[in-house]
Amino acid sequence: MRHLKIYLILIASMGMLYACSKTEIVKPQTEEIRFVVPTNFPDAVYKFDGNILTNNGFALGKKLFYDARLSADKSISCGSCHQQFAGFANLDHKVSHGVNNCLGKRNAPVLFNLAWQREFFWDGGAKNLEIVPINAITDVCEMGSDLNTIVTFLNNTAPYPSLFKDAFGSATVNSQNLLKALTQFTAAMVSANSKYDKVMRKETVFTTEEQQGYQLFKDKCANCHTEPLFTNLNYINNGLDLNSVDEGRKTITDLVSDKGKFRVPTLRNIELSSPYMHDGRFNTLEKVLEHYNAGVQANENLDVSLSKNSQLGIPLSNIQKQQITSFLKTLTDDEFIKNKIFSEN
């Protein structure tokens, strides 16, 4: 009898646990914005410490992200160069196009899974996600404005003061809350529901060609494009030029050994985010793979993985290139790309 009691209690508590987990699954459908580390991801770097993620903060960040009035000539918003359908990169643009038709010098990076990055930009110049937007806001070839102008504009433009009050408790806009709101929006962008992720979670399987591509990828590419973020977050020279015009990481560290090194970009959503490389020089994945097959230049800082056995690059047959491309397309996360939560309208 005593044993039976214990069993009953156990069954009852299991029932309660089940009910609990049920509510958690239902919750996101009420559109409460949450940040969840995907099961196959490492711990995030940005943890919303001191910037608690709320619906109001996120909604404000999104409005700011898409507001072109923050730029000098009111023509460029963050979303101009970071388009959702291109993985929040800039489709068909080699380099950023800023105010007054000014051309920047580098390709706009994709914006997602930013909460896992310690450093930002192609050269790692920004070291905290919260301060990243200042560069685009102030760059003369991007938004061409400054923080003071924007803070004044927001303080004097409805409905911003009330939106800031809803998000941060004060209707007085300052640069800190402006940047924190933008961060709530960008840090909450998580892309982890591609076919690749579903295969990893054993919800589906690769086709034969994708599986062959995955094997090749692990052998030949994963050293730099490490799973599950598909970047090791390092800076390497991948032999684009004998002499790099853009000094890349050296601009930040002042080290000759960093000349021509750039961030290893994530390959998630790579199918959508052409053109490729820091200067957008390749407009197709085929050209990128051909670069690794036969285009690698013997730069003094060339990564060792690209000059193995006194051979430059990574030899790839046409069939192998096709297989790898098939695998890369499994990294496209349609759910993220089409998620209205992140859309302008």
Angle, helix 175-187 to helix 55-65, in steps of 10 degrees: 100
Answer whether 252's CB lies under 8 Å from 120's CB. no
> Nearest approach, Cβ of 216 to other proteins (angstroms)?
37
Q: Nearer to other proteins by C-beta: 173 or 221?
A: 173
The number of beta carbons lying within 10 Å of the beta carbon of residue 318 is 11
Residues that bind other proteins (CB under 8 A): 50-51, 125-131, 134-135, 138-139, 146-148, 151, 174-176, 179-180, 183, 251-254
Q: Nearer to other proteins by C-beta: 87 or 133?
A: 133
Integer Cα distance of 272 and 86 in angstroms = 5
Q: Nearer to other proteins by C-beta: 173 or 306?
A: 173
Q: Which residue has the tokens 């085929």?
A: 286
> Nearest approach, Cβ of 157 to other proteins (angstroms)?
17
Closest CA relative to residue 118, chosen from 229, 193, 39, 194: 229
Q: At 175, list the tokens.
A: 């640069």
> Nearest approach, Cβ of 180 to other proteins (angstroms)?
6
Amino acid at 31: E
Q: Nearer to other proteins by C-beta: 75 or 174?
A: 174
> Nearest approach, Cβ of 260 to other proteins (angstroms)?
17
Helix (H, G, I), strand (E, B) or coil at 46: coil
> Nearest approach, Cβ of 262 to other proteins (angstroms)?
15
Q: Nearer to other proteins by C-beta: 65 or 206?
A: 65
Helix (H, G, I), strand (E, B) or coil at 262: strand
